[in-house]
Amino acid sequence: MIKPAEWWRRLTFLFRRARLTRELDEELRLHIELRTQANRRLGMTEDEAALAARRGFGNPTVLRETSDETWGWFPMDRLMQDLRYGGRQLLRHPSWTAAAILTLALGIGANTAMFSAINALLFKVPPPIRPDGLVWLSLRSEDMARPRSLSYPAFLASRERHDVFAGVAAFHDVHLSLGDGVPERARGAVVSANFFDVLGVRMALGRAFHADEDVVPGARPVAVLSHALWTKRYGGDPAILNRIIMINGQPFSIVGVAPAGFSGLEIDDPLPSVWMPLAMIGQVLPDFDPAWLTDAGSSWVRTIARLAPGVSIAKADATARGFTWSTDASNPAGRPRPTVRVAAVAGSFFPGEREEVGEVLGLLMIVPVLVLMVAGANAANLLLARGVDRRKELALRRALGASRGRLVRQLLIECLMLTTLAGIVGVGLARVLTAIIGRAGQMPDAILDGFQVDGIVLAATLLVSSVTALVFGLVPAFVASNPALAPTLKEEGITIAIGRRRHRLRDVLVVGQIAVSVVLIVVAGLFLSSLTKALRVDPGFEARDGATLSFDLALQGYRPAARDAFIREVLDRTRAVAAIESAALTTALPLGGRMFGTEVVRPGAEADDDAVSTFNAAVSPEYFATMKIALTRGRDFTALDTRSSPPVVIVNDALARRLWPSADPIGQRLRLLGLDDGWREVVGVARTTRYDDLTESPASYVYVPLAQFPPASLSLVARAWPEAGPVLPALEAVMRSLDPQLPVVDARTFEQVILRSVGKQRAASALLAVLGGLALLLAALGIYGVMSHATMLRVKEIGIRMALGARAPDVRRMFVRESLKLCFIGVAIGAAAATVISKLIAGFLFGLAAGDAVTFLIAAVVMCASAILATYLPARRAARVSPLIALRN
């Protein structure tokens, strides 16, 4: 136990140490003088007396250090000393230091980039939202693949449970046409009045919704704007409150502006920019059906809740499972009844989706970890090389009495300094990396904005840096701290003194580096070739010379008659454009990202369980000609297929084969459940295309005439004459001429549509390509550095060999042979590991067996080539050295 008074004395010592050290010196001087006098009296000569007195004290520095140590500040002192010394060491070899820092920074940067992505997507709740006790409510049951939104009755039932929830709020995303003049397409959400309160979000301006604004359907058109919309569209005008904003052609009064950075709970593109009371849903959602409010089977209410004080998530979850809100009548027999489940709000995904994203990200996390391993091995090799160069210095310090532990600590501190600096550079690099990956993967800005380095990411980076320092610094430090003193100091046997152990360690590192690099190259290569193969897949329609854009007449308040007129007019005017060969309208573009499902039944098989699920689109005449989707049998829709003519349908190959494997599909009848009640006659069979995903297996699909389909958002598709040049501007001009106020979205060529559909794969491939490239660069540089350094160390040996008659080619061959041996071992290990890993990721790959021979071959060749080059060049240089010079050196 140290008493307070003692602490005080220690403190005074710290501040007056210079004086106290001087005083101690004076005491010692006096003592030595007095002892010398005493010795003289015993009859020694002057010199003998002084020498004996001094000998009595031993090493004065040690003495001073020992008494310093008494005062308890010594460890800190030594640390400062080590830091100063380490700093000097790093500064003395700037290029070595820069190489080591940069190497580690790449590894750390790659990890930081990945951490920040994972953190933003899976863990962080965006700052304006108060995260504690905020939970998602979702519906789950055994027969559901993933959790669903609550039904409105389930939401109402949850809202009454004040015993578990302090507040329950709901929202539902809607697509909007926003503003007057030329409106823009935007996203928004209708929310319960307490939405902002439950999230703990305070308005930047104005107020959130009052409870009475969310009671009577359609009664209170009020809106809250996002901060981004307010600054972008209104220039941050403080007098925005009570102004009118047109939403879907209806006036809403602006009552508040949400704080900067708030954009709801889920990441989506674009982010929601306006919020309205849930009671206004009928006004902003054209296909809203009041039955949604009573049907326990329609899941559409995203529900969040704040837990009541003292209630744990586990307890809330257990309680919520017992909620009752539906009668048996509304829940078809035989199906497990869904229960309400509670899960913490973390990251920016709905439960279930979060887990799916997490799996992918976790898998991708392998890559930066591998990069870090390569970087760490590189740095370890650099440290080893430095250790060899510093043998003499370390041997000297050891001879002067530094303990081995002290040397190890010194080396580790230098290593930590390196990794800390590398961590700082790495965080900067992480930003660059996320930008590169984001751009290559065409990620929306909204997601990229979340990729910020915050406290948690910084802590993770710090941890990674220090673990790296320890793991990769410890072994080199131990090796370097134990030089064979005598030979090293005598500068003998430079070649021989490097123990076998050091060689072996270096070899292990080189082999490891090659192996990890092979894994990276193989994995990156597999993803890339999977992507190129996916892009080479025939989408089933002709992608060249095609263009599309989308619009929603219902959002703009078109009545049926006006809508029909608009549809006729837009097709006529588009077909009249000289460059355009044909044009059509559809509710769903293949690979356009929108899929509508329905169920099909045949006559005679009325039972629900015989229904076949399929996707559907409503298309205008000439759609198949425009898309160049072949009709294998029957006819296209024509202008004669109208609302009053007999209902008809075109099926795709896949569905035809499934429903009528042996019969002729033409003339058969089928019913589309949920779409309409009557029978439709099959008039044509279209070739199966890719609908949702280039790599999907053939899916069932039905087409109905646009005229026999309820209003929906439409895509105009047009095919240009070959070599006619871009037609998108012409399409946009047609739209403007018809209705300048109608927002037009997703104006793209067909090629762009396809590219976008593989966005996720592109992002993953981009990440892998960038990081794989980095790792390859690191490994090549690292191997070059190590090999050339090792070769330089053996100049003397080369001299001896050549003096004994070896010729230059022999020497070169010997070195190349040795490095090739390491290389083969590394490639073999790497290939084995890559085989295992590529089996793991096979689910993400398209069109190739997990062990793609070409990719493996490329990886092996690249690694061996860089290893050979890394040895050959220095070996050639060494072999050119005259033996005399080499030996004298």
Partner 1 sequence: MTRTPPKDDIPPGTLDMLVLRTLARHGELHGFEIADAIQRISADVLQVEEGSLYPALQRMLLKGWISGEWGRTAENRRARYYRLTVAGRRQLEREVESYERIAEAIARILHGGERAEP
Residue ranges that bind partner 1, judged by CB under 8 A: 3, 5-6, 9-10, 13, 23-24, 26-28, 30-31, 33-35, 38, 56-58, 62-63, 66-67, 69-72
Minimum gap (Å) between residue 15 Cβ and partner 1: 15
Give the separation between CA 302 and CA 154, rounded to whole angstroms. 11
> C-beta of 406: minimal distance to partner 1 in Å?
19
Closest separation in Å from C-beta 428 to partner 1: 47
Q: CB neighbours of 545 closer than 8 A, spacing ≥ 6?
A: 581, 719, 720, 721, 722, 724, 727
The least distance separating partner 1 from the CB of residue 401, rounded to whole angstroms, comes to: 14
Which pair of structure tokens corresponds to residue 149?
């939104």
Nearest to 277 by CA among 294, 255, 248: 255
The span from the CA of 784 to the CA of 778, in Å, is: 10
The answer to whether 772 and 526 are in contact (CB under 8 A) is no
Nearest-angstrom CA–CA distance, 760 and 657:
32
Choice between 24 and 363, CB closer to partner 1: 24
Nearest-angstrom CA–CA distance, 199 and 167:
9
The owner of tokens 């329905």 is 598
Q: Are 162 and 309 in contact (CB under 8 A)?
A: no
Place of tokens 């569905």: 655
**Whole-number minimum distance, CB 33 to partner 1, in Å?**
8
DSSP state of 159: H
Phi, psi dihedral angles at 335 (to 5 degrees) = -100, 135
Nearer to partner 1, 38 or 854 (CB): 38
CB of 48 to partner 1, least distance (A): 14
Q: Which among 456, 625, 468 has a CA at the least distance from the CA of 104?
A: 468
Helix axes 366-389, 404-440, angle to 10 degrees: 140
Q: Which is nearer to partner 1, 62 or 219 (CB)?
A: 62
Which residue in 197, 113, 817 sits closest to 426, CA to CA?
113
> Residue with structure tokens 């005679």?
604
Helix (H, G, I), strand (E, B) or coil at 137: strand
851 secondary structure, DSSP code: S
In whole angstroms, the minimum distance from the beta carbon of 817 to partner 1 comes to 58
Shortest separation between residue 455's beta carbon and partner 1, angstroms: 40
Whichever of 40 and 756 has its CB closer to partner 1, that residue is 40
CB 272 within 8 A of CB 189: yes
| Rounded Cα gap, residues 638 and 647, in angstroms | 12
The residue (of 13 and 234) whose beta carbon lies closer to partner 1 is: 13
Shortest spacing between CB 55 and partner 1, in angstroms: 10
Closest to partner 1 by CB, 11 or 562: 11
Shortest reach from residue 396's CB to partner 1, in Å? 24
Q: How far is CA 749 from CA 132, 548, 570, 618, 754, in A?
A: 46, 6, 18, 21, 9
CB 18, min distance to partner 1, A: 15
Pair 123, 346: CB distance under 8 Å: yes
Residue 80 beta carbon to partner 1: minimum distance, rounded to whole angstroms: 21
Q: Which is nearer to partner 1, 29 or 337 (CB)?
A: 29
What is the dihedral sign for C-alpha 350, 352, 353, 356? positive
Cα 490 to chain centroid distance, Å, stands at 55
| CB of residue 85 to partner 1, shortest distance in Å | 25
Which of 13/824 has CB closer to partner 1?
A: 13
SS3 745: strand
Question: DSSP assignment, residue 269?
Answer: S
Closer of 10 and 760 to partner 1 (Cβ): 10
Does a cis peptide bond (omega within 30 degrees of 0) precede residue 270?
A: yes
Residue whose CB is less far from partner 1, 31 or 504: 31
CB of 34 to partner 1, least distance (A): 4
What tokens were used for 307?
A: 């837990």
Give CA–CA dist 614/593, Å, rounded.
16
The distance of closest approach from Cβ of residue 112 to partner 1 in the complex, given in angstroms and rounded to an integer, is 46
Q: How far is the CB of 72 from partner 1 (least distance, A)?
A: 8
Nearer to partner 1, 42 or 853 (CB): 42
Rounded distance, CA 321 to CA 238, Å?
A: 46
Q: Taking the complex as a whole, how short is the minimal distance between the CB of residue 31 and partner 1, in angstroms?
A: 5
Closer by beta carbon to partner 1, 6 or else 356: 6
Residues 6+ apart with CB under 8 A from 41: none
Q: Is the CB of 33 or the CB of 356 nearer to partner 1?
A: 33
**Shortest Cβ distance from residue 30 to partner 1 (Å)?**
6
- CA 806, CA 194: separation in Å to the nearest integer? 87
Closest to partner 1 by CB, 38 vs 640, is 38
Closer residue to partner 1 in complex, CB, 28/246: 28
What is the three-class DSSP state of 847? coil
Would you say 2 or 561 has its CB closer to partner 1?
A: 2
**Which tokens hold the place of 882?**
């005259």
- Residue 315, CB-side half-sphere exposure with 13 Å CA sphere: 11
Nearer to partner 1, 8 or 596 (CB): 8
Would you call 214 helix, strand, or coil by DSSP? helix
Nearer to partner 1, 33 or 681 (CB): 33
Neighbouring-strand partners of residue 301: 150
Query: Cα separation of 188 and 243, whole Å?
Result: 18
Alpha carbon distance 732, 744 (integer Å): 8
d(CA 564, CA 809): 85
The kind and range of the H/E element at 581 are: strand 580-586
Paired tokens of 521? 């190259």
Whole-number Å distance between alpha carbons of 413 and 730: 67
